[in-house]
Amino acid sequence: MDGEVKTVSADNSERSELIPILQEVQETEGFLSEKSLEKISKSLNISQTEIYAVATFYSQFKFTPPARHKIKICLGTACHVKGGEKVLEAVKRTLKLENEDTTPDLEYSVERVACIGCCALAPCATIDDHVYAKLTPNKIQHIITEMEG
Ligand code: FES
């Protein structure tokens, strides 16, 4: 139609593509970099601010590169009751982490997780693919210190 002004803005179909694209980028690159967000913004015609707002809503999306060693502290009921929080505090103290969950050198990240399926051996944690059971603050501190060795 003559004289019709088309506005360029994201419609619902572009928005519905956003989450699967973010998931794919995270799967491939391990996190959502600024460069990736910029590319997605251009291809879907959605502002980076809007993409960031959507992505931050979901805890599955990360904005920093993955650390080399991933420490997961179980805080499920059994581990919580048996001192999981103290284990977590010891990890953070050992790695000198305060509010952040990844060391500046990207060597370690720390994450709280729910039950990892070995409640009888609580408190538990995993470091990369290895499960550590019956942990104490001293034991986890020793394990990390050995890794840094
Ligand atoms: S609650 Fe930690 S392993 Fe089940």
Q: Can you give the pLDDT of all 149 residues of the chain as single tens digits?
A: 444 443 344 556 677 899 999 999 999 999 999 999 999 999 999 999 999 999 999 888 989 888 999 999 999 999 999 999 999 999 999 999 998 899 999 999 999 999 999 999 999 999 999 999 999 999 999 999 999 87
Ligand 1 centroid–CA 81 distance in Å is 10
73, 74, 81: which to mutate for ligand 1, most atoms within 8 A of CB? Answer: 74
Six token digits for residue 8: 């360029």
Pocket of ligand 1 (CB under 6 A): 74, 76-79, 115-119, 122, 124
Binding residues for [2Fe-2S] cluster: 74, 79, 115, 119
- Ligand 1 nearest atom to the CA of residue 84, by list position: 2
Strands 108-113 and 69-74: parallel
SS3 109: strand
Gap between the Cα atoms of 144 and 149, Å rounded: 9
Binding residues: 74, 79, 115, 119
